Amino acid sequence: MINVAQPKLWQPAGKLLNGQRIPLAQLARISNKMGPVDIAREKGQRRISVEVNVRGRDVGSFDGEAQGAVTRNMHLPAGYILEGGGLWEHLESGRNRLLLVVPVTLLLIFILLFAAFHSARLAALVFTGVPFAVAGGILALLLRGMPFSMSAGVGFIAVSGGAVLNGLVLVAFIGQFQKRGEPLETAVYQGTHLRLRPVLTTTAWRA
């Protein structure tokens, strides 16, 4: 609002009482300045986001290097917080869940094996297939140059389950020969001879 013709009568800025328009330059100083297009807020604080498309490498290592470079080259004022989001945030949350889910799953598998064989020794024997399966998965990622991801973590769980199932079938079949009175060496030879090809076939089909 601006008082133009009569001191006691207010009229909208930019227009006189007789309808004549006033140039905006006579009412305000106009200049061009650099500034944000919009101001975003989150949790009661201003938020500025920098978006990057990561290609040819994993998101986790890129975020670590980016935060390290920003920490070395930039000194944020007090009250500023730097944190990652997007795919990296989903990766971190999924990784934290896997750190909880995987040990619980392996413990449940061992309990089920113990319930099936009623022997901790045989359960541990079958369970030894899990480290070899995980080692094979890690070697496959290294050979193909693929980074660790959530899909790779789920694949490790599936491969571990397949290794346990194959070991369970093989040990159970060897146990059947022992119940018939066969010596341990003969039972192991017969069991592996008759079940090695089916085990390899099912493993290759899963892969």
Q: Residue 7 pLDDT more than 60?
A: no
**154-158, long-range: CB within 8 Å, 24+ apart, which pairs?**
157/102, 157/105, 158/206
**In 3-state terms, what secondary structure has residue 72?**
helix
Structural domains of the chain, with CATH: 1-33 (no CATH), 87-206 (1.20.1640.10)
Lowest mean pLDDT among 7-21, 88-102, 135-149: 7-21
**In 3-state terms, what secondary structure has residue 40?**
strand
pLDDT score recorded for residue 16 = 61
pLDDT score recorded for residue 11 = 42
Which residues lie below 8 Å from residue 24, measured CB to CB, with a gap of 6+? Answer: 14, 30
Tokens of 11: 């009229």
Q: What is the average pLDDT value for the chain, to the nearest integer?
A: 77
Higher pLDDT, 138 or 13: 138
- Say how far apart CA 204 and CA 207 lie, in whole Å: 5
- Using an 8 Å Cβ cutoff, are 155 and 137 in contact? yes
Beta-strand runs (E) in the chain? 40-42, 45-47
Residue with tokens 């899909």: 151
Which residues lie below 8 Å from residue 17, measured CB to CB, with a gap of 6+? Answer: 4, 5, 6, 9, 11
Residue with tokens 């769980």: 157
Q: How crowded is residue 69: how many other Cβ atoms within 10 Å of its Cβ?
A: 10
pLDDT score recorded for residue 10 = 39
Reported as half-sphere exposure (CB side, CA atoms, 13 A), residue 204 has a value of 6
Q: Is 155 exposed, middle or buried (0-12, 13-18, 19+ CB in 10 A)?
A: middle
What confidence tens digit (pLDDT) does each residue in 19-67 have?
778 777 777 888 888 877 777 887 778 877 777 787 777 776 777 777 7
pLDDT score recorded for residue 135 = 86
What confidence tens digit (pLDDT) does each residue in 56-112 have?
777 767 777 777 787 788 777 787 777 777 777 777 777 788 788 888 888 888 898
The percent of residues in the chain predicted with pLDDT above 70, rounded, is: 88
